[in-house]
């Protein structure tokens, strides 16, 4: 049962919400904007009316397995909940439905920890919002928030398994954002603030 639910968590995480939103408008988001199948690229290309439901679905893809699958499998412990959540994150980043080219794991990872450590996610959201407000750069905010999450988990939950998974997630988010890091170093990363100043 647990193995089947791990596969189901992966398949749930693989649902390509951004890709489907783009297709609904006749657009392949892999060929527009940043080319990434994430809510930020949906926002850039299609606007917030499309990005908001995509973001909510991406969060839910992590929240549902982490919150409910351990109960369905009749297994105890945070370890199983984290395992189901990690399977969903892997599905989001490497979705089987669109040739394993997905998003960067931020929203789905946030959903996992929203189910298991909501106060820590609240701190991460405050950090994310602060960085966006100061810089206008969503990718930078996502990376800083990802780094803030394990610190918040350690502070609120201690240095157990959840902390180490949060730390691994932060490292994973940095890896998936490596192209953004290169653009940040070159001063070429898109900023909503620069866009507003140019208009």
> Nearest-CA neighbor of 19 among 4, 7, 6, 32?
32
In tens, the pLDDT along 107-119 reads: 999 999 999 999 9
- pLDDT, position 15: 93
One pLDDT digit (tens) per residue for the chain, 199 residues = 788 999 999 999 999 999 999 989 898 888 887 777 888 888 888 888 888 999 999 999 999 999 999 888 888 778 999 999 999 999 999 999 988 888 888 899 999 999 999 999 999 999 999 999 998 898 899 999 999 999 999 999 888 899 999 999 999 999 988 888 998 999 888 776 554 443 3
One-character DSSP codes across 115-159: HH-HHHHHHHHHHHHHHHHHH--HHHHHHHHHHHHHHHHHHHH-S
> Nearest-CA neighbor of 105 among 92, 115, 118, 117?
92
Read off the pTM: 0.87
- pLDDT, position 193: 58
């Amino acid at each position: 049962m647990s193995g089947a639910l791990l596969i189901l968590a992966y398949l749930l995480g693989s649902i390509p919400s951004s890709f489907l939103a783009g297709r609904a408008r006749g657009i392949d988001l892999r060929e527009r904007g940043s080319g990434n199948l994430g809510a930020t690229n949906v926002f850039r290309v299609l606007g917030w009316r499309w990005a908001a439901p995509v973001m909510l679905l991406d969060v839910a893809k992590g929240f549902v397995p982490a919150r409910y699958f351990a109960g369905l499998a009749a297994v105890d412990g945070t370890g199983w909940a984290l395992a189901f959540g990690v399977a969903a994150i892997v599905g989001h980043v490497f979705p089987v439905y669109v040739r394993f080219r997905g998003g960067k794991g931020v929203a789905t990872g946030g959903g996992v920890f929203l189910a298991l450590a909501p106060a820590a996610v609240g701190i991460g959201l405050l950090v994310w919002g602060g960085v966006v407000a100061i810089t206008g750069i969503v990718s930078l905010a996502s990376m800083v928030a990802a780094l803030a999450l394990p610190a918040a988990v350690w502070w609120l939950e201690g240095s157990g398994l959840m902390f180490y998974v949060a730390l691994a997630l932060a490292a994973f988010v940095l890896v998936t954002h490596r192209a953004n890091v290169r653009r940040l170093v070159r001063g070429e990363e898109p900023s909503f603030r620069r866009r507003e100043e140019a208009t």
